[in-house]
């Protein structure tokens, strides 16, 4: 019998966005299975101290930061610690570690539009891509999925909701929902920290309140998106592309316990759900080991302590971002990319105290009204429209 340490060919993993919450959870799962995985590269934007600490523990072959001055600092820090990790900087370095020949798996966990190009590089290199960057599909869904098919990449969703739906569907489901009897996909939402609040109460919301999610530990940008329900809007668009579904086939269901992560409804009346504790290590472990299962360090769900499961419809009057996302997906073309760019600008402005919480959807809607929608079949067009939407959003912020 083979010893457990030699029973697997170790897979090489690049973690894009290693210092964020998804990246940290990924490293936690990887560290539990050193016999199965080794780390090729870890990347971060500007959090050089956090990346240094990760390199000291995990000893990747390569580390990447956005700027050369941060990379020089990290080289010096690791050199003095006797760590041989090669340190690089810049966008091209990100794309290179995503598509490197020695890499088997890429965790795409860079937040926002910045994750699009390195994630596409991994797809074009035919990697197993664990997609935690929903903006890649929001911005360039048709092009992205065409590249997945063309390069025979394996795309596995890591967002808990899409990962849950993936687990509730049979193999080979994409493009075959009607054929396999799926009538509806149900995306669950916690409702965020302001569930049940009306528009008048939302006016005074602070960044600290918006980032205090009741169930999930997430980064600040995603936490604000959850609070505005834009995160669910982005997930609705992502689900359309992942599962080849129409917007009207997807229903958002507010489920405050965050125990049911999403569901699939079938023509025979069955509804299949995936349940678990709200811990991102579960979908991460699923993506890493698929089609097998590995330990993730997550406690089994105790249904007796949960005791009840509640469901309600989202309040799109108080939280119009969900409606804006659905309308952008229906409009097609570059509309989702415009919406995403405007949202990123508005959320950053809110986090830095430039605008109030309730101005976020208004800025997004103003950008969508001001920008014509173009065909989204070329990457250069998508990136140009992303930049244009950001400029328009900045002008609206100044008003």
Tokens representing 50 are 């956090």
Contact criterion met (CB below 8 Å) for 259 and 390 = no
Do 36 and 137 share a structural domain? yes
Q: What is the 3-state secondary structure (H, E, C) of 11-32?
A: EEEEEECCCCHHHHHHHHHHHC
* pLDDT of amino acid 3: 37
What is the edge-to-edge ordering of all strands in the sheet holding 154-157?
A: 86-89, 62-65, 37-43, 11-16, 105-108, 128-131, 154-157
Query: Could you tell me the pTM of the whole model?
Result: 0.92
Do 88 and 154 share a structural domain? yes
State whether the Cα torsion 109-113-116-117 is positive or negative.
negative
| Residues 172-181: tens digit of each pLDDT | 999 899 999 9
Do 247 and 140 share a structural domain? no
Residue where a domain terminates, one of 158, 191, 207: 158
CATH number of domain containing 24: 3.40.50.720
- Residue among 140, 170, 167 nearest 156 (CA): 167
Phi first, then psi: what are they for 81, rounded to 5°? Answer: -90, 0
* pLDDT of amino acid 4: 38
CA distance 16 to 36: 19
Inside any domain, residue 197: yes
Residue where a domain terminates, one of 104, 131, 158: 158
* pLDDT of amino acid 213: 77
CA distance 312 to 278: 19
Task: Give every residue of the chain whose pLDDT is below 50, as ranges.
Answer: 1-7
Distance of alpha carbon 281 from the chain centroid: 14
For 101, the domain range is 4-158
* pLDDT of amino acid 135: 87
Inside any domain, residue 262: yes
Characterize the bridge pairing of strands 62-65 and 37-43.
Answer: parallel
Q: Which residues are paired to 88 by β-bridges?
A: 64
Do 182 and 310 share a structural domain? yes
Do 51 and 189 share a structural domain? no
Do 182 and 126 share a structural domain? no
Do 198 and 61 share a structural domain? no
* pLDDT of amino acid 217: 67
Inside any domain, residue 295: no
CA distance 342 to 395: 11
Do 153 and 188 share a structural domain? no
> In the 8-state DSSP scheme, what is residue 113?
G
Cα dihedral 288→277→265→242 (10° resolution): -30
Inside any domain, residue 286: no
Tokens representing 285 are 């472990």
Inside any domain, residue 289: no
Do 51 and 24 share a structural domain? yes
Do 82 and 229 share a structural domain? no
Cα-Cα end-to-end distance for the chain: 71
Do 193 and 152 share a structural domain? no
Inside any domain, residue 300: no
Q: For the chain, how many structural domains are there in total?
A: 2
* pLDDT of amino acid 216: 66
Residue where a domain terminates, one of 158, 187, 214: 158
Inside any domain, residue 183: yes
CATH number of domain containing 391: 1.10.1740.10
Do 318 and 243 share a structural domain? yes
Number of neighbours of residue 355 by Cβ within 10 angstroms: 19
Inside any domain, residue 284: no
- Cis before 265? omega within 30: no
* pLDDT of amino acid 303: 95
């Amino acid at each position: 019998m083979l010893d457990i340490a030699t029973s697997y060919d170790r897979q090489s993993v690049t973690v894009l966005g290693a210092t964020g919450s998804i990246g940290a959870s990924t490293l936690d799962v990887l560290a539990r299975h050193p016999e199965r995985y080794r780390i090729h590269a870890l990347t971060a934007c500007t959090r050089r101290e956090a990346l240094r600490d990760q390199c000291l523990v995990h000893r990747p072959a390569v580390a990447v930061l956005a700027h050369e001055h941060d990379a020089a600092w990290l080289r010096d820090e690791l050199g003095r610690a006797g760590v041989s990790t090669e340190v690089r900087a810049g966008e091209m370095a990100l794309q290179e570690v995503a598509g490197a020949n020695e890499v088997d798996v890429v965790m795409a966990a860079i937040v926002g539009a910045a994750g699009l190009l390195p994630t596409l590089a991994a797809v074009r290199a035919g990697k197993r891509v664990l997609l935690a960057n929903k903006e890649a599909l929001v911005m360039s869904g048709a092009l992205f999925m065409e590249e997945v098919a063309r390069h025979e990449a394996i795309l596995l969703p890591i967002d808990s909701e899409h990962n849950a739906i993936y687990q509730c569907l049979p193999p080979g489901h994409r493009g075959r929902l009607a054929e396999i009897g799926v009538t509806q996909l149900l995306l669950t939402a916690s409702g965020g920290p302001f569930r049940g609040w009306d528009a008048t109460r939302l006016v005074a919301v602070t960044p600290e309140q918006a980032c205090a999610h009741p169930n999930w530990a997430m980064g600040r940008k995603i936490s604000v998106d959850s609070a505005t329900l834009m995160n669910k809007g982005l997930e609705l668009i992502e689900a359309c592309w992942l599962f080849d579904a129409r917007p009207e086939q997807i229903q958002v269901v507010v489920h405050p316990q965050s125990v049911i992560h999403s569901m699939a409804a079938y023509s025979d009346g069955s509804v299949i759900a995936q349940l678990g504790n709200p811990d991102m290590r579960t979908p991460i472990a699923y993506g890493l080991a698929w089609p097998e299962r590995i330990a993730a360090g997550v406690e089994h769900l105790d249904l007796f302590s949960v005791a009840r499961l509640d469901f309600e419809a989202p309040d799109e009057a108080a939280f119009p971002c969900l409606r804006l996302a659905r309308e952008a997906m229906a409009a097609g073309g570059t509309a989702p990319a415009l919406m995403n760019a405007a949202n990123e600008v508005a959320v950053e402005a809110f986090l830095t105290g430039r605008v109030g919480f309730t101005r976020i959807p208004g800025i997004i809607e103003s950008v969508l009204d001001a920008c014509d929608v173009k065909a989204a079949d070329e990457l250069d067009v998508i990136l140009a429209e992303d930049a244009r939407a950001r400029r328009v959003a900045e002008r609206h912020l100044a008003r």
